[in-house]
């Protein structure tokens, strides 16, 4: 029976309809242009940050390695949803097949889950750097960094392989209109014509666990960091430690706040319009904001950028 349901959900006649953002706008063409510009800014900003970290030897540290991983996740994250949405608006098509919907859901959930754990890893990295500076090169060597980042990607993929097949196996109603601009799990689940209460409880518990573990790690790390900063004699050291941590905390608050609203608040707090606005915030705006936070507020990154911009004109002059 499960196989019949799965096949029924993946036939050609069972395409989903993404109602999207543009139906809510009085100026859909202008909104489309704005989102396209934001998309290009997100890709270019994160790509430049990754390039700077790769090319500048001063940025070959665990902290910047994890920032490059965050930028890579953000580039993939925004690319999962925005190109499809913009292409549909230009082509005048708003359908998505069940396999495409499942793939979009899988990559989205995987990347979101990976970012949850990566932000916790970055908090732990800051804790070791500030509270145990002498042991930092040993505790956070290159092998450990690779292991931690690989673990983040693996745990995110576990989320994707857990939620996507179960969600897409449910039988859906005839209308198949998704009140969203991409195949997010709660939005697709609302179309099911069967009882999903048990699965919703399971999903809620998984999300609590997935958020609780990183939040405990982040909270514990920053509590110990604050105690260490408070005991520092050097005012310059306190200022540098606080500046580094405040950038990361800003990203954590933005990403986790939106995730808690989407996956942990009761359904009575949700409307399709609110859900779409929150999703725009953490799927489109957050990937743009992250590189700005880690570059404009970071002297090392700005120094590397200035060095790259001054090297290129000198190279061109030498070629002439």
**Comparing 73 with 285, which gets the higher pLDDT?**
73
Nearest to 98 by CA among 162, 167, 20, 158: 167
In the prediction, which pLDDT does 311 show? 59
Residue 1 confidence class, pLDDT cut points 50, 70, 90: very low
CA distance 203 to 95: 26
Residues in CB range of 55: below 8 A, 6 or more apart? 304, 308
Percent of the chain past pLDDT 90, that is, above it, reads: 32
Measured from the Cβ of residue 92, the count of other Cβ atoms closer than 10 Å reads 6
Tell me the CATH architecture of domain 17-300: Up-down Bundle (1.20)
pLDDT mean across residues, the chain: 83
41-to-48, 104, 158, 291 alpha-carbon distances in Å: 10, 22, 30, 10
CB 229 within 8 A of CB 130: yes
Question: What would the pLDDT profile of 246-281 be if each residue is shown by its tens digit?
Answer: 777 778 887 788 777 777 777 667 777 778 888 888
Q: Residue 284 in contact with residue 78, Cβ under 8 Å?
A: yes
What is the pTM for the complete model shown? 0.85
Which of 56-60, 121-125, 176-180, 305-309 is the most confident on average?
121-125
Q: Give the pLDDT of residue 227.
A: 85
For residues 201 and 43, the model is more confident at 43
Domain ranges within the chain, ordered by starting residue: 17-300
pLDDT at 4: 43
For residue 12, what pLDDT band results from cuts at 50, 70 and 90? Answer: very low
The model's confidence at residue 3, banded by pLDDT at 50, 70 and 90, is very low
Candidates 287, 275, 281, 288; CA nearest to 24 is 275
Task: Tell me the average pLDDT across 204-231.
Answer: 84
State the pLDDT at residue 82. 92
Per residue in 54-85, pLDDT (tens digit) is 988 888 999 999 999 999 999 998 999 999 99
Whether 23 shows a pLDDT value over 70: the answer reads: yes
Residue 317: per-residue pLDDT? 52
Q: 50-59: which pairs have CB atoms within 8 A and are 24 or more residues apart?
A: 52/301, 52/304, 52/305, 52/308, 55/304, 55/308, 56/304, 56/307, 56/308, 58/300, 58/303, 58/304, 59/300, 59/301, 59/304
- Which helix (DSSP H) or strand (DSSP E) does residue 274 occupy? helix 272-280
pLDDT on residue 94: 85
């Amino acid at each position: 029976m499960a196989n019949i349901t799965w096949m029924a959900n993946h036939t050609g006649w069972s395409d989903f309809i993404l109602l999207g953002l543009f139906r809510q706008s009085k100026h859909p063409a202008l909104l489309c242009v704005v989102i396209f510009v934001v998309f290009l800014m997100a890709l270019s900003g994160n790509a430049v940050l990754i390039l700077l970290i790769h090319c500048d030897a001063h940025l070959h540290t665990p902290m910047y390695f994890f920032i490059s991983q965050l930028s890579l996740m953000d580039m993939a994250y925004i690319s999962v949803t925005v190109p499809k949405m913009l292409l549909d608006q230009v082509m005048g098509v708003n359908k998505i097949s069940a396999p495409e919907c499942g793939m979009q859901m899988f990559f989205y959930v995987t990347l979101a889950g990976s970012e949850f754990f990566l932000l916790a890893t970055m908090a732990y990295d800051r804790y070791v750097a500030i509270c145990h500076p002498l042991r930092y090169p040993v505790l956070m060597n290159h092998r450990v960094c690779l292991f931690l980042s690989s673990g983040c990607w693996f745990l995110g993929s576990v989320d994707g392989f857990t939620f996507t097949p179960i969600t897409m196996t449910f039988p859906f109603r005839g209308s198949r209109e998704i009140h969203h601009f991409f195949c997010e799990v709660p939005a697709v689940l609302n179309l099911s014509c069967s009882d999903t209460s048990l699965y919703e409880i399971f999903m809620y518990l998984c999300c609590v666990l997935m958020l609780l573990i990183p939040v405990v790690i982040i909270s514990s790390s920053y509590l110990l960091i604050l105690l260490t900063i408070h005991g520092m004699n050097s005012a310059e050291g306190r200022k540098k430690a606080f500046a580094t941590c405040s950038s990361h905390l800003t990203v954590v608050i933005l990403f986790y706040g939106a995730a808690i609203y989407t996956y942990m608040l009761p359904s009575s707090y949700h409307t399709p319009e609110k859900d779409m606005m929150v999703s725009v915030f953490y799927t489109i705006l957050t990937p743009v904001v992250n590189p700005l936070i880690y570059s404009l507020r970071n002297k090392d990154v700005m120094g590397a950028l200035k060095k790259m911009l001054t090297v290129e004109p000198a190279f061109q002059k030498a070629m002439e």
